[in-house]
Amino acid sequence: MSLYLRQVGVVVWKDLLLELRTRERIAAMAAFAVLSGVLFSFATDRSVVRAQDIAAGLIWMTIVFDGLLGIGRTFHIEAEDAAMQGVLMSPAPKDAIFLGKAISNFALLYAVALLVLGVFMLFFGLEIGSSPGAVLLALGLGSLGFVALGTLFAAVSSGTRMGETVLPILVFPLLVPMVIYGAGATGRLLAGRPVAEVAGNLKMLAAFALVALAAGAGLFRFVVED
């Protein structure tokens, strides 16, 4: 078991180190988050709708689009010089590689999700409500479910001629529960409602993330086999 965790850890470390050194994906995703906040501010007429009525939905859609931008490139580094073959030939089981990739993607996406939240609070003048911990938990569980599906289907789409173009078509229908429960919970929390009211949503987000992670870990080997 400890060997397995170390194998997962090695993949996480490799990806995060590469990301820290190049800062390619994080820079693009962070810029995307801020610029989306700017565009959404101009796209909504605040004299017609109140900011807090639409902010939760915009926050989650920004995370989804930003996630596609970054997570879609999960396997780009390995695409060069057939590095993916090297990763797959390592003694680490395929599910450990998947989990490692998903965890490093999660670190990336969760950081960006927090930035998105901050950007919208700043630009839309939102209050975080009475339970910031629950907001952060909802964003974390949503990001986890997203990276589980995103990592698996990034592997699928990078094996096709269509590349990242096909990724939204694969992922969006499956993200419906995440968006519904996530935006529902965030909207209520930002409106200052008690955590008890969104406990069901948070549980569904957690269950969704767990099933998506298990499915990804179990099916990844069929995607990358030769």
Partner 1 sequence: MSITGIRRAGTVLAALGLLGLGYVYWLSFFWVSTEASQGIVQRIFYVHPPAAWTSFLAFGIAALTSAMYLWLRDERLDWAAQSAAEGGMVFGTIMLTTGPLWGKIAWGTYWTWEPRLTLTLLLWFIFLGYFMVRRSTENPDQGKRFSAVVAIVGSLLIPFIHLSVVWFRSLHPEPVVITPEGPSLPGDMLTLLLTSVGVFTLLFAGFFMLRYALEGLRHELQQRARRAIA
Q: Does 199 participate in binding partner 1 (rule CB under 8 A)?
A: no
CA distance 185 to 203: 11
Using CB under 8 A as the binding rule, whether residue 4 contacts partner 1 is answered as no
Based on CB atoms, which residue is closest to partner 1, 73 or 188?
188
Q: What is the DSSP string of 14-77?
A: HHHHHHHHH-HHHHHHHHHHHHHHHHHHHHS-TTTS-HHHHHHHHHHHHHHHHHHHHHTTTTHH
49 binds partner 1, rule: CB under 8 A: no
Residues from 156 through 185 that contact partner 1 (CB under 8 A)? 156-157, 159-162, 166, 169-170, 172-174, 176-177, 180-181, 184
Q: Residue 127: which H helix or E strand, with range?
A: none
What tokens does 42 get? 């101009």
- Does residue number 105 form part of the binding site for partner 1 (CB under 8 A)? no
Q: Any contact of residue 219 with partner 1 (CB under 8 A)? A: yes
User: What value, to the nearest 5°, has the Cα angle with vertex 147 and ends 143 and 63?
Assistant: 45
Q: Would you state the structure tokens that stand for residue 56, as one six-digit string?
A: 């939760």
Q: Which stretch binds partner 1 (CB under 8 A): 63-71, 95-103, 189-197, 213-221?
A: 213-221
| Minimum CB distance to partner 1, residue 163 (Å) | 9
Q: Give the separation between CA 223 and CA 221, rounded to whole angstroms.
A: 5
Q: Does 5 bind partner 1 (CB under 8 A)?
A: no
Q: Which residue has the tokens 């009475």?
A: 130
In the block, tokens 């919208």 appear at 120
Q: Which of residues 107-146 bind partner 1 (CB under 8 A)?
A: none
Nearest approach in angstroms of CB 196 to partner 1 is 16
Q: Which residues make up the interface to partner 1 (CB under 8 A)?
A: 149, 152-153, 156-157, 159-162, 166, 169-170, 172-174, 176-177, 180-181, 184, 204, 207-208, 211-212, 215-216, 219, 222-223, 225
